[in-house]
């Protein structure tokens, strides 16, 4: 086993951002005769011969390999990746990327602390005003004495796409579909940690998650966190069904982390007439 900090073996691969993944591709994508390339890494990750052959035609096999690895096993950690690179004598990559990786791990720990630690309040305020438990007081309709409010789907969106979210509310909640959506700006009580609330809602309160994809979504840190968190709950999205929705044309590539999911596309004239029915049906499944 390569000499890798023990802490890194506990950090899931989703902690690594796109900068590190792109640089890994620059190192590993070129086919080499003397140094290990992405194919050697894939073998060490446990991929079969046929699986590896299917990656050969991709423009960036390293990126797809990393995404599929993190989706298929809990062993996909930063520590395991560094160990594989070291075992394959690609310590040049480890040395080149280690500062960037350490920074990503630091940010990952920072996000975890945000989830785990409630906002600090001065003792005088705490003693005079009892706080509502986040477990029962997250949404506007939560009853502190009863069961928490549950939803058919959590809607992951950025602010610039809020107009389409309004249309989604009208078509899915205010029609015979009668679904219940969790829309952060409408349903969540103010004053608590955003990361804690979204994690709780996605994991325990919502059966599904709709991801509104747009160019702006790709730049949103909140959307990035919500999507990766939902994927990390169930590798491959087998039980926490994620439904990507495209409602307007995009200039940037579709997020590769969601490429294996069937998209509900509002921009295609041939399927627009079935759009809301298909989406409602997907959200109504048990």
Q: Give pLDDT tens digits for 219-242.
A: 998 898 898 888 877 554 445 679
Residue 133 predicted with pLDDT over 50: no
Q: Note the pLDDT tens digit of each residue in 240-252.
A: 679 999 999 999 9
Q: What is the mean pLDDT of residues 188-209?
A: 87
Q: What is the mean pLDDT of residues 16-21?
A: 89
For CA atoms 189, 193, 195, 196, give the dihedral sign. Answer: negative
Residue 135 predicted with pLDDT over 80: no
Per-residue pLDDT band for 140 (boundaries 50, 70, 90) equals confident
Per-residue pLDDT band for 11 (boundaries 50, 70, 90) equals confident
Is the CB of residue 205 less than 8 Å from the CB of residue 214?
Answer: no
Q: What is the mean pLDDT of residues 41-68?
A: 89
Percentage of the chain beyond pLDDT 90 is 46
Q: What is the mean pLDDT of residues 48-74?
A: 87
Per-residue pLDDT band for 71 (boundaries 50, 70, 90) equals confident
Q: What is the structure's pLDDT at 97?
A: 93
Q: What is the structure's pLDDT at 136?
A: 54
Domain segments of the chain as ranges: 6-116, 151-284
Sheet holding 241-246, edge to edge: 181-182, 151-156, 206-213, 241-246, 264-265
Antiparallel, parallel or unpaired: β 241-246 and 264-265: parallel
Say how many C-beta atoms besides its own lie within 10 A of residue 46's C-beta.
11
Counting DSSP H helices and E strands in the chain, the numbers are 12, 5
Residue 124 predicted with pLDDT over 60: no
Cα(152)–Cα(282) distance, rounded to whole angstroms?
Answer: 10
* 151-284 CATH: 3.40.50.10140
Percentage of the chain beyond pLDDT 70 is 88
For CA atoms 269, 271, 277, 283, give the dihedral sign. Answer: negative
Q: Indicate the pTM of the whole model.
A: 0.56
Topology of domain 6-116 in CATH is: Death Domain, Fas (1.10.533)
Residue 117 predicted with pLDDT over 60: no
Residues 6+ apart with CB under 8 A from 195: 111, 114, 115, 225
């Amino acid at each position: 086993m390569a000499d890798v900090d023990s802490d890194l073996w506990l950090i899931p691969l989703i902690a690594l951002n796109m900068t590190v993944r792109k640089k890994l591709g620059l190192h590993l994508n070129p086919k080499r005769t003397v140094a290990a390339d992405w194919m050697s890494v894939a073998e060490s990750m446990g991929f079969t011969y046929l699986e590896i052959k299917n990656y050969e035609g991709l423009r960036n096999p390293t990126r797809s390999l990393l995404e599929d690895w993190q989706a298929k096993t809990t062993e996909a950690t930063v520590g395991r990746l560094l160990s594989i690179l070291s075992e394959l004598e690609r310590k040049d990559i480890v040395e080149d990327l280690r500062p960037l990786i350490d920074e990503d791990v630091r940010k990952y720990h920072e996000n975890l602390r945000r989830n785990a630690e409630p906002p600090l309040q001065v003792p005088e305020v705490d003693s005079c005003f009892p706080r509502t438990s986040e477990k029962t007081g997250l949404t506007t309709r939560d009853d502190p004495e009863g069961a928490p409010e549950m939803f058919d789907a959590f809607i992951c969106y950025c602010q610039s796409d809020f107009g389409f979210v309004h249309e989604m509310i009208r078509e899915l909640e205010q029609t015979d579909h009668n679904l219940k959506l969790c829309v952060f700006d409408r349903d969540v009580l103010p004053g608590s940690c955003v990361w804690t609330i979204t994690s709780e809602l996605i994991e325990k309160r919502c059966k599904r998650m709709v991801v509104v994809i747009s160019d702006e979504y790709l730049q949103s840190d909140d959307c990035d966190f919500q999507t990766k968190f939902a994927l990390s709950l169930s590798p491959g999205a087998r039980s926490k069904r994620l439904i990507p929705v495209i409602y307007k044309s995009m200039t940037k590539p579709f997020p590769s982390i969601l490429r294996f999911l069937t998209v509900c596309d509002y921009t295609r004239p041939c399927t627009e007439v079935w759009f809301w029915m298909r989406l409602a049906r997907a959200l109504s499944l048990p």
